[in-house]
Amino acid sequence: MRFVFLLLLLASTAPAQDVTITPFLELELETACPGDILHVNAVLSNGTPAEDVELRLVRHVPFQGLRGLKHTDEDGYAFFELTRTGEYRIYIEQSEDYNSERYAEFNYSEKCPPPPPKPLNITVEPDCNSSIMVVYATSGGQPLGNVFIKTKNWSTLTESGGKAVFPLQEGLVYLKANRSGYADFEEYIAIDCTPPECLSDKDCAFNQHCFNESCVNLTGTCGYPENHSWIDYGCCNDSDCDSGFECRNNACVELPPPAINASNKTPENITENKTGVPEDEPQEEVCVVAALPLVLIIISRSGLSV
């Protein structure tokens, strides 16, 4: 009895030991399109991300062996590109810092549909002086290398700057270009090394100007060509002039003041009565009947006078 009591006393007086709980590690897996990407998040049971965990991706059925090796980042994240369908295993590096299963399994039964092809643009610049034809491949405004370019008799790949050089061919030149992931290009391109008719207006007649390396006649509705330009007249119709002007010989000329018609005088326009007769009394009407060399005969209402 004393022995049991002594053991209990010793147990009660012994110092308490720290108990360490090892968290459990789990993998959260998710596939996403486009790109056939497997997203992996390593999370501990206490809710914190598991950093720097080594993960090995193995295609198990049909067996293909190791397909990728990654370490999780500070957020416990890693990703793998899946190139084929099948059953996969992700083997988890074992550690004293956590407990985990040896591996996690998932089945990737269907790949993502292929993305639409990117645009492929081809431009051709003939160098007639050097007898070469320079072909440029671009996509989205950026040079595109490793594009297979084929003409009727020649073929090559574009360099990193998207450039390829061929011997010069004139006329309709067949050109085909392709690269994986990009839209195919196939066209006939017209190449002409005939010298241009003009490079500036001075190469053309005075009534022409240079447009797209060709001399083109100057035209207009109201004017004339002069020194490779179209000069507009001052006017072509009276409506082109301001009020009080008219169009004469393609120039606006001021109109003369309107003439005064004496027969249209009205009483209110007469400011002075020079006859001396009151305005309300009728005035004598004088008519010249005849004019003789020495005698003027005047007939009036009051009588005949000589």
User: How does pLDDT run across 133-150, given as a tens digit for each residue?
Assistant: 999 999 999 999 999 999
Mean pLDDT of 65-80: 95
Is the separation of the CB atoms in 78 and 90 below 8 Å?
no
Backbone region of residue 197 per phi and psi (left: phi > 0; alpha: psi in -120 to 50; beta: other values): alpha
DSSP secondary structure string for all residues of 92-126: E--BTTBB--SEEEEEE-SPPPPPPPBP-EEEEEE
Where along the chain do its domains lie? 25-108, 121-191, 195-257
Element (H, E) at 135: strand 132-139
Asked if the domains at 25-108 and 121-191 fall in one CATH topology, the answer is yes
How far is C-alpha 124 from the chain's CA centre?
Answer: 22
Q: How far is 14 from 97, CA to CA, in rounded Å?
A: 28
CA torsion, ordered 269, 273, 277, 278, to nearest 10 deg: 50
3-state secondary structure of 12: helix
In CATH, what number does 25-108 get?
A: 2.60.40.10
pLDDT higher at 277 or 71: 71
Residue 127 has pLDDT above 90, yes or no: yes
pLDDT grade for 8, boundaries at 50, 70 and 90: very low
Mean pLDDT of 97-125: 92
CA atoms within 13 A on the CB side of 3: 0
Show Cβ contacts of residue 134 under 8 Å, excluding neighbours closer than 6 positions.
124, 125, 126, 127, 163, 164, 165, 166
State the pLDDT at residue 33. Answer: 87
pLDDT grade for 184, boundaries at 50, 70 and 90: very high
Q: Where is average pLDDT lowest: 12-26, 89-103, 148-162, 283-297? A: 283-297
State the pLDDT at residue 258. Answer: 78
pLDDT grade for 88, boundaries at 50, 70 and 90: very high
Is the separation of the CB atoms in 92 and 101 below 8 Å?
yes
Mean pLDDT of 24-33: 93
Element (H, E) at 186: strand 185-191
- pLDDT over 90 percentage in the chain: 58
Query: How many other C-beta atoms can be found within 10 angstroms of the C-beta atom of residue 95?
Result: 14
Residue 19 has pLDDT above 80, yes or no: no
Residue 192 has pLDDT above 50, yes or no: yes
Mean pLDDT of 7-15: 48
CATH architecture of the domain formed by 121-191: Sandwich (2.60)
Is the separation of the CB atoms in 31 and 57 below 8 Å?
no
State the pLDDT at residue 266. Answer: 53
State the pLDDT at residue 13. Answer: 54
